Amino acid sequence: MTSSNVVIDARDVHVRLGSSHVLRGVDLRVERGEVVALLGANGSGKSTLVRTLVGALPAASGSIQVPPPARMGYVPQRVSAAGGIPSTAQEVVASGLLRPGRLRLPRGWRDQVHDALGLVGLADRCHDATNHLSGGQQQRVLIARALVREPEVLVLDEPVAGVDHPSQEQFAATMTRLVAQGLTVLVVLHELGELAPLVTRAVVLRHGRVVHDGAPPSARNGHAAADHEHVHPHAATTTPEHGDESGFAGFEDSTAALTDHPEA
């Protein structure tokens, strides 16, 4: 059943992290041109699955077929302004140009980097230090780093978690354009949000197993409703892997703290 249109084909994938059995026999197939959303609660194994697909984690068993690294773009969950040395958006995006057999920047890399930053609306921020950018902008830099590879398949891990609304809209617009050009997308999401119109299929994980594979489900609690804004631009520079739910509560709290200004 492996047709040439299947770009990601994972079968019966098991992943163990330490003593926990995180993925328990996951099947995932993505065909060319699809936009597949990977949904599920925190700890359900979404991130583990994509990290396994891109080779960052070893699978205990099962088979995984993905395109070679040169044809894939990966956007990891935003690391806080990691590393001890500040780096510019240009430097970070340029590192996306490397691939097997190419450990040095190719000729004309500056233009490529500039174009990729342009795709995410940050062309004028080339020389800004990434730790001076907002959380949403930092996330867009990471997306540009994946796009500069001109990938056929883009794998994104919670690209809009803790991202301000303008960046989310910008992101959705960029994705719409790229998908129209034939990009295949596998995206881990908490809620469909701005991407809802693009998503062609949703795969829902629960406790390391696929519990739904088909039409995108409607979100609970109106999380994805248009008037429900998840905007905590600077709050989430270190989004804890399993702490998102409490993160929302924290956001409500900080709003309360703001309106409850002592001087008011």
Partner 1 sequence: MDELRLMLSDPLMQRALIAALLVGAAAPVVGTYLVQRRLSLLGDGIGHIALTGVALGWLVGAAMGLRPHDVLTIPGAVLTAVIGSVLIEVVRRRGRTSGDLALALMFYGGIAGGVLIIGIAGGTSGNLMAYLFGSISTVSSTDLILTAVLSAIILGIGLGLRTALFAVSHDEEFAIASGLPVWLLNMAVAVVAALTVTVAMRVVGLLLVSALMIVPVAVAQQLTHSFSRTMGLASIVGVTVCVVGLSITYWHNVSPGATIVVLAIGVYLLAAAARPLLHRRAASAAHDPHPDIPDDVRVPAAATKKPTGKPTGKPTGKTAESSRCPS
Measured from the CB atom, the residue of 32 and 165 that comes closer to partner 1 is 165
Residues 8-27 that bind partner 1 (CB under 8 A): none
Contact status: 79 vs partner 1 (CB under 8 A): yes
Q: How many residues of this chain bind partner 1 (CB under 8 A)?
A: 61
Closest CB 86 distance from partner 1, rounded Å: 5
Residues 185-214 that bind partner 1 (CB under 8 A): none
Judge contact between 123 and 114, C-beta under 8 A. Answer: yes
How crowded is the C-beta side of 228, counted as CA atoms within 13 Å?
12
Residues 103-132 that bind partner 1 (CB under 8 A): 103-105, 127-129, 131-132
Of 73-81, 179-187, 201-209, 210-218, which part binds partner 1 (CB under 8 A)? 73-81
Measured from the CB atom, the residue of 87 and 176 that comes closer to partner 1 is 87
Of 7-15, 22-30, 102-110, 212-220, which part binds partner 1 (CB under 8 A)? 102-110
For the beta carbon of residue 89, count every other beta carbon within 10 angstroms.
Answer: 29
Of 29-37, 101-109, 175-183, 213-221, which part binds partner 1 (CB under 8 A)? 101-109
Judge contact between 219 and 19, C-beta under 8 A. Answer: no
Contact status: 83 vs partner 1 (CB under 8 A): yes
- What are the beta bridge partners of residue 31? 6
CA distances from 169 to 173, 184, 231, 251 (A): 6, 19, 12, 20
Phi and psi based region of residue 217 (left: phi greater than 0; alpha: psi -120 to 50; beta: remaining):
beta
Site for partner 1 (CB under 8 A): which residue of 6, 235, 244, 247?
Answer: 235
Site for partner 1 (CB under 8 A): which residue of 5, 12, 20, 56?
Answer: 56
Of 29-37, 163-171, 182-190, 217-225, which part binds partner 1 (CB under 8 A)? 163-171
Residues near partner 1, by CB under 8 A = 51, 54-56, 68-70, 72, 74, 76, 79, 82-88, 91-92, 94-100, 103-105, 127-129, 131-134, 136-137, 145, 149, 155, 164-166, 229, 231-235, 253-255, 257-259, 261-264
